[in-house]
Amino acid sequence: MATSQPIGIFDSGYGGLTVMKEILRKLPQYDYVYLGDNARAPYGNRSFETVYRYTLQCVEWFFEQGCPLVILACNTASAKALRTIQQNDLQKLNPNNRVLGVIRPTTEKIGEFTKTNKIGILATSGTVQSGSYTIEIEKFYPRIHVSQEACPIWVPLIENNEHNSPGADYFVKKHLNNILGKEQGIDVLLLACTHYPLLLNKIQQFLPAGITVLSQGEIVADSLVNYLQRHPEIEQRCSRNGERTFYTTDSAEDFDNHASIFFGQPLQSKHLAL
């Protein structure tokens, strides 16, 4: 058995680092291993079958590293792969391990932020097409009406470090105008892609007053705190040496150069050939 049993955090690339940063604030004591599948990112425009296959392969790798718990800190993977992995694959791979996503913790809480019961979801095309947010919010808050907007250019803008440039203004305004035009009275916009918190300042700059913009990192971190309290059988298997290890399926040098924008501090990754 592996001596270290870290909590696994997965993303298609860099975005999950925005979630990991918040998790580390609340739960610094555990060991963590992060994997960004940068070589195959972005996932946002890929088919269900492809996102499922890539995500499953990464989950298998986390289990080989001894992770009792893996967080899919990627909305696209949570929308397109999580349910099948939980229902079909976990039993075969390791029925004692757990894989959690970011959509459920967010949709459980989102109703607390709206007064008008009108919410806008900003996400990748894949997440929007999956309908996962609409379906999950309906379960917890049937009174809430959800509008969605795919913002396919936002991830490439961020990955190319253009998110603070004047060129980004056009695409930020365009998608904000689109979503606010879909329904009068939206008072909460959810950034349902782990990359989007990097656009937060720009988004706020272009929004009318009275609209709350929600990022998921803190919500997911709070939900993990709660999950570990409710599941001592998993919590006791998570090792606690404060270790953090980072892997990318693409160039480690490139990852390290970009990662601090998302993580808020420098880090050193290793290359993983999948």
Which of 59, 70, 82, 155 is the binder for ligand DGL (CB under 6 A)? 155
Beta bridge partners of 121: 148, 190
* Token pair recorded at residue 274: 């999948």
Burial of 155 (0-12, 13-18, 19+ CB in 10 A): buried
Q: Which of 42/68 has CB closer to ligand DGL?
A: 42
Question: Which of positions 115-154 make contact with ligand DGL (CB under 6 A)?
Answer: 124, 127
d(CA 102, CA 194): 9
Amino acid at 25: R
Tokens 């929007």, residue?
128
Question: Among residues 9, 11, 80, 149, which is the contact residue for ligand DGL, using CB under 6 A?
Answer: 11
Catalytic residue among 67, 74, 151, 238: 74
Span of 114-122, 191-199, 224-232, 239-247 interacting with ligand DGL by CB under 6 A? 191-199
Whether residue 74 lies in the annotated active site: yes
Using DSSP, state whether 96 is helix, strand or coil: coil
Q: How far apart are CA 265 and CA 25, in angstroms?
A: 13
Q: Name which position in 190, 193, 198, 203 contacts ligand DGL (CB under 6 A).
A: 193
Closest distance to ligand DGL from the beta carbon of 274 (Å) = 15
Q: Considering only residues 28 through 87, tell me which ones interact with ligand DGL, judged by CB under 6 A.
A: 41-44, 74-76
SS3 assignment, position 6: coil
What residues are annotated to the active site? 74, 193
Q: Which residues bind ligand DGL (CB under 6 A)?
A: 11-13, 15, 41-44, 74-76, 124, 127, 155, 193-195
